[in-house]
Amino acid sequence: MSLEILEQLEAKVQMAVDTISLLQMEIEELKEKNESLSSESNTIRESREALEQENARLKADQEAWQQRIRSLLGKIEEVE
């Protein structure tokens, strides 16, 4: 009877070891995925920041052009 109990214990220990190994592999996969997503997030953040800077520059250019047009319209009105 004790041999049977030892075999059952051995089977349970082996199952526990197998489960731990699978969980460790899953953890490693999740770490890799996390690193990949973090890298992707940083790339997107950098792209967004670049787009925001370009947007601000374009708005400033637009404002400058609008000011020039207003100035020219003012000069035209003075001539008339």
Measure the CA–CA gap between 42 and 34, rounded to whole angstroms. Answer: 12
The CA distances from residue 57 to 30, 46, 71, in Å, are 40, 17, 21
Q: Please tell me the predicted confidence (pLDDT) of residue 78.
A: 85
pLDDT number for residue 13 = 97
Reported as a pLDDT band with limits 50, 70 and 90, residue 80 is confident
Full DSSP string of 20-49: HHHHHHHHHHHHHHHHHHHHHHHHHHHHHH
pLDDT digits (tens, 9 = 90+) for 16-63: 999 999 999 999 999 999 999 999 999 999 999 999 999 999 999 999
pLDDT band at 79 (very low <50, low <70, confident <90, very high): confident
Please check the confidence at residue 1 and state whether its pLDDT lies above 70: no
